[in-house]
Structure 1
Amino acid sequence: MDSPEVTFTLAYLVFAVCFVFTPNEFHAAGLTVQNLLSGWLGSEDAAFVPFHLRRTAATLLCHSLLPLGYYVGMCLAASEKRLHALSQAPEAWRLFLLLAVTLPSIACILIYYWSRDRWACHPLARTLALYALPQSGWQAVASSVNTEFRRIDKFATGAPGARVIVTDTWVMKVTTYRVHVAQQQDVHLTVTESRQHELSPDSNLPVQLLTIRVASTNPAVQAFDIWLNSTEYGELCEKLRAPIRRAAHVVIHQSLGDLFLETFASLVEVNPAYSVPSSQELEACIGCMQTRASVKLVKTCQEAATGECQQCYCRPMWCLTCMGKWFASRQDPLRPDTWLASRVPCPTCRARFCILDVCTVR
C-alpha cells in the first residue's frame, strides 16, 4: 500500500473507532448519532422510550455503514486500483465490498422487523410488555417510564455508552445498541466486583468502580450489569427500595478519604522496606493503640541534602493506616488532585516527607 492508502486507512480507522466508542471530544463536536439525527430522534426528556427505540435502530444502521464508507473512500484515495469498477477490482476487495453491503442489509432487515406493529418487536418494547397489565400493552408501560424519566429526582450517571438510570419504579441501563429495563420491586441487586484505579482519567484522582448485578425475579427479563463509581453508591442506595447485597470479598470505599487511604497503602507497599534493629522492639501505634507500629519515615525520594523532604529520626511509632490518615488530614480538601504529590510534616518531629519516604518495617 502506498502513502495515500495508508493515510486514509489510518484516518478512517481512528474515525470509525471514535464514532462507535464516542470520546468526549466527539461529543463536544456533535459527531454522534444522537446529534446528527436529532431532528428525527426527538428529545429524550420528552419521550424516553420512543427516543431510544429510534436511537438504537439508527445507531445500528449507521455503524453497519462504516465498512461501506471505507470502501467508497478507498475508491477515491486509491483510484489506480479501479475499485469503482467491480470487474477490475481485486478479489479481496470484491469480498470486502460484499461484506460491506451485507452488513447494512442485515441491519435494515432487523430494523424493519423491530419497527413492525409500531415498534412492538423491538427488544425494549418486548421487555416493557412483560410488565404490562392484561388489559393494556407495552405502550402504557412506556408512558410510565417516560413520565418518571422526566422527574428531576431520578438517579442518572455513567458514560453515554453505559448510562445507569434509576427512577422510583425502574432500574435502567442505556447502552449503544440496547436499553435494559427492570422493575425495582422485582430485582435483586448484588455488588459482585470492585476495581481500584489509582488515577481517574477525568479527575486525576483515585477511583473505585463497582460492578452491580441486576437480576429480575421474572426469568423472562434478562439480567444485566451496571458499573458505578463508589462515591455514588450511597446516592444509588437512597433511590432504591430494596437493599443491595454485597459479595464477601468486596469492600466499598464511599468517600474520597477511603479511596486515598487505599491508594496510599498501595504506593507505600512498593517503597523500600525498613529493617528494624534487633535491639529495638516495635510498640503499639500511638495513633490508634490497636495495632503495632508498621511504618518508618526514611528519606528515599532524593539525596539526603537535596529537595524539600527532610530526614526523620523518629523510631517507628505509627501504623500504615494512621500515617495515611495523618497525611490526608494535612491536605487541602478543595485540591484533592495534589494530595499524592504533596509533602507534610512528621506528626512527631515535624520533618517534612512525601509518600515515597514512608517505608514499611520488617
Structure 2
Amino acid sequence: MTSPELSFTLAYVTFAICIIFTPDEFRSAGLTVQNVFSSWLGSEDVDFLRYHLRRISVTILVQSALPLGYYLGMCVAAPEKHLSSFYQVSHSWRAFLLFAVCLHLASCAVVIYWSCCQWHGHPIRRALQAHVRPPHSRWGSVASSINTEFRRIDKFAAGAPGARVIVTDSWVMKVTTYHIHVALQRDCHVTVTHSRQHQLSPESTSPIEILNLRVESINPSVRPFDISLNSTDYAELRAKLRAPIRTSPNVVIHQTISELFLETFRAQVELNQRYTLPSGQEVETCIGCMQAPANTKLVRLCEATGVDDDSECQQCLCRPTWCLMCLGRWFASRQDQQQPETWLSSRVPCPTCRSKFCILDVCVVR
C-alpha cells in the first residue's frame, strides 16, 4: 500500500469512526446527522417520535454509504489502481465495490419500505406496538401520548447523546443511535444493578459516580433495557419516577457533597423559626421548579439569635416564592466548591431581590 493510499485509508477510517461514534468535538462543530439533516428531520420538541423515526433512517443511510465513500475516495487517492473502471480492477476491489453498493442499496430499500408503509417494521414502531392495549388502540395513539408528554417542561432528561434517558409522567425511554426503548411507568420496576466511580471528570474536579439501572416491565412484549446515569441525576430521576426503584444488595450509592449539603440544609431550616402567612395570602408555586409549593420565607433572624452582632444579612421583603429544595440548591450553587466546610456559615444573596441572608434566616411557611 503506497503512501497516498495509506494516508487516505487512515484518514477515512478515522472519519468513519467519528461518524459512527460521534465524539464531542464533532458535536460541537455541528458534524452530526441531526445537524446536517436538521431541515428534513424537523423539531424533536414538536414531534419527538417522528423526529427519531427519521433520524434513525438517515443514520442508517449515511453509515451504510461509508464503504462506498471509501471506494470512491480511493479512485482519487490511488488513480494507478484504475478503480474507476469496473473491468480493470482486481477481484478483491471488485468484490468490495459490490459489497458496498449492495449494502447501501439494501439500506435504501429498507428505509423506503419503512417510509412508504407507515414505518411498518421500524424498530421504534415495534417498540410502540408492544404498548397497544387500552387506553391505546393503535401505535399512533401511543406515539401521540409520548409526544404530548415530551413537550412538557417537567420531564427528566439526562445521559450521553447516544444513550439518553427520558422520563415523562407515564413513560420511561432510552434513546440510542438506532433504537428507542420504551416502558410504561405503571408496568415497570427499576433496579440499580451496578455503580462505578471515576476519579477524573472534565466537568468537575471531584469524582463522579455512574449508576447502571435495569428497567423491566411486566408487559411480556417489552424487552428489559439498561440505562446509565450520573449519581448527581439520581435524586431527580427518583422524584420523577413513579415506578419502584430497588437497589441490589452489593450496590452502594454514594451521596455527592451537594446532596449531603441539601440534607443538612433542610434539617437546619426545620429547626428555625416558622413563618406564618398573612391572612388571605395563599401559598404560590415555586418559581424554581414550578412544581412544589413555595414554602420558604427569608426573615432576618440571625441577629436576634446573637450569632453575629455585625451580621451582613439584610431584611428580605420578598413574598414566599421558592421551595426549600430549590432555595437549598441556590444556596449551594453560590458557594466556593473547593471549600465545602464554609458553606453552612456563609451568606448568599436572595435569588429574587439580592438581599443577603444566611441559613438561620430561612423559615418554613406554615
1:109 positional shift? 2.8
1:19 aligns with 2:22: no
1:53 alignment partner, SS class: helix
For 2:218, the equivalent position in structure 1 comes to 217
For 2:319, the equivalent position in structure 1 comes to none
For 2:96, the equivalent position in structure 1 comes to 96
- Residues 1-362 of structure 1 aligned to structure 2 (within 5 Å): 1-133=1-133, 136-256=137-257, 334-336=336-338
Q: Distance in 2 between matches of 1:222 and 1:58?
A: 25
| Equivalent AA in structure 1 for residue 192 of structure 2 | V
**Deviates most, 119-128 or 144-153:** 119-128
1:254 positional shift? 2.9
2:164 alignment partner, SS class: strand
Cα pair 1:210 1:227 within 8 Å, conserved:
yes
Q: Distance in 1 between matches of 2:165 and 2:200?
A: 22
For 1:322, the equivalent position in structure 2 comes to none
Cα pair 1:128 1:138 within 8 Å, conserved:
yes
Cα pair 1:233 1:254 within 8 Å, conserved:
no
1:160 alignment partner, SS class: coil
| Equivalent AA in structure 2 for residue 35 of structure 1 | N
In structure 2, the CA distance between the partners of 1:131 and 1:74, relative to structure 1 (3 Å rule), is: same
Q: Distance in 1 between matches of 2:203 and 2:120?
A: 39
Q: Distance in 2 between matches of 1:177 and 1:205?
A: 33
2:83 alignment partner, SS class: coil
1:220 positional shift? 0.8
Q: Could you give the per-residue CA deviations for residues 313-362 of structure 1, whole angstroms, max 9, x where no partner exists?
A: xxxxxxxxxxxxxxxxxxx96345x99xxxxxxxxxxxxxxxxxxxxxxx
1:106 positional shift? 2.4
2:212 alignment partner, SS class: strand
Q: Distance in 2 between matches of 1:251 and 1:25?
A: 34
Cα pair 1:191 1:210 within 8 Å, conserved:
yes
Unmatched runs of 5 consecutive residues or more in structure 2 = 261-333, 341-366
For 1:346, the equivalent position in structure 2 comes to none
1:68 positional shift? 0.7
Q: Distance in 2 between matches of 1:227 and 1:98?
A: 39
Aligned length: 266
1:121 positional shift? 2.7
Q: Distance in 2 between matches of 1:8 and 1:204?
A: 39
Q: Distance in 2 between matches of 1:165 and 1:11?
A: 36
Cα pair 1:124 1:179 within 8 Å, conserved:
yes
Q: Could you give the per-residue CA deviations for residues 220-260 of structure 1, whole angstroms, max 9, x where no partner exists?
A: 1111100000111111000000221111111111314799x
Q: Distance in 2 between matches of 1:73 and 1:203?
A: 42
Q: Could you give the per-residue CA deviations for residues 72-91 of structure 1, whole angstroms, max 9, x where no partner exists?
A: 10110111111111211122
Please give the root-mean-square deviation of Cα atoms over the aligned residues, in Å: 2.1
Q: Distance in 1 between matches of 2:92 and 2:202?
A: 40
Q: Could you give the per-residue CA deviations for residues 1-29 of structure 1, whole angstroms, max 9, x where no partner exists?
A: 22211211111111111111111211121
Q: Distance in 2 between matches of 1:111 and 1:76?
A: 30
Q: Distance in 2 between matches of 1:208 and 1:173?
A: 19
In structure 2, the CA distance between the partners of 1:85 and 1:202, relative to structure 1 (3 Å rule), is: farther
In structure 2, the CA distance between the partners of 1:117 and 1:202, relative to structure 1 (3 Å rule), is: same
Cα pair 2:127 2:180 within 8 Å, conserved:
no
Cα pair 1:170 1:184 within 8 Å, conserved:
yes
| Equivalent AA in structure 1 for residue 24 of structure 2 | N
Q: Could you give the per-residue CA deviations for residues 270-323 of structure 1, whole angstroms, max 9, x where no partner exists?
A: xxxxxxxxxxxxxxxxxxxxxxxxxxxxxxxxxxxxxxxxxxxxxxxxxxxxxx
| Structure-1-length-normalised TM-score | 0.69
Q: Distance in 1 between matches of 2:245 and 2:105?
A: 43
Cα pair 1:75 1:82 within 8 Å, conserved:
yes
Q: Distance in 1 between matches of 2:195 and 2:102?
A: 40
1:193 positional shift? 1.0
1:334 alignment partner, SS class: coil
Percent of residue pairs identical: 59
Q: Distance in 2 between matches of 1:168 and 1:38?
A: 28
Cα pair 1:231 1:256 within 8 Å, conserved:
no
